[in-house]
Amino acid sequence: MNPVYVKADYRLYEFFKVQGAQIVNNPEDFIGTNGAYLYSGENKTRKTNFLQGHVLVIAPHQGMVDSETWLKCRSKCLNNKSVAKPLKAKAIWIAGKIKCAKCGYALVSKVYRCKTKSNNRYYLCSNKYSAGGCDFHSLDADVADAIVLKAAEKSRPIGTAFLAVCLICQKRG
């Protein structure tokens, strides 16, 4: 979180000092009027998590956000956990045609590798893994594929097979 909009006062100075940032200005310069710049310096790590080696400088412009509010937001950001990387559809023949019955997002294929028996394929809701916004568990991909294939062989529209897969999802849900 960039301190460019914060009114740089002594609390901000102390925060960056404790975090290990190099501070160019003297503590007396942090009077609560100007903003601040945070430079990467020689350390190329992300500024959001690790501030040691980064350089803090008082900016020539006026700050707009009081340091108490900014520090609360910064502390909250530091405590955030990263969200799992979203799952993408990987070479499944019904990709884009199968949706979650609970939230309508796309179902993605996931293979769980097993040493003692064959690998298990499941369809998982992409909304569950990208935003944590769905409580759908999983759907056996082989069962869903068989339903869609059977419908296609009978020359039914894919929408009918989609409906059958949705009914399975609702029963399992």
Would 95 be classed as within a structural domain? no
Q: Are 9 and 30 in contact (CB under 8 A)?
A: yes
List the one residue out of 60, 50, 43, 61 whose CA is nearest residue 16.
50
Residues 11 and 65 in one domain: yes
One domain for residues 74 and 23: yes
Range of the domain at 24: 3-79
Tell me: do 75 and 120 sit in the same domain. no
Q: CA–CA distance from 137 to each of 5, 73, 87, 141 (Å)?
A: 43, 33, 14, 13
Q: Is residue 94 part of a domain?
A: no
Name the domain boundary from 79, 97, 125: 79
Looking at the predicted structure, is the pLDDT value of residue 52 above 50?
yes
* Most confident by average pLDDT, 13-27, 34-48, 90-104, 125-139: 13-27
Shared-domain flag, residues 53 and 121: no
pLDDT in tens, 91-110: 566 666 778 878 888 888 88
Q: Is the pLDDT of residue 69 over 60?
A: yes
61 and 112 in a single domain? The answer is no
Which residues, listed in sequence order, are joined to residue 133 by a DSSP beta bridge? none
pTM greater than 0.85: no
In a domain, 86, yes or no: no
The structural domain count of the chain equals: 2
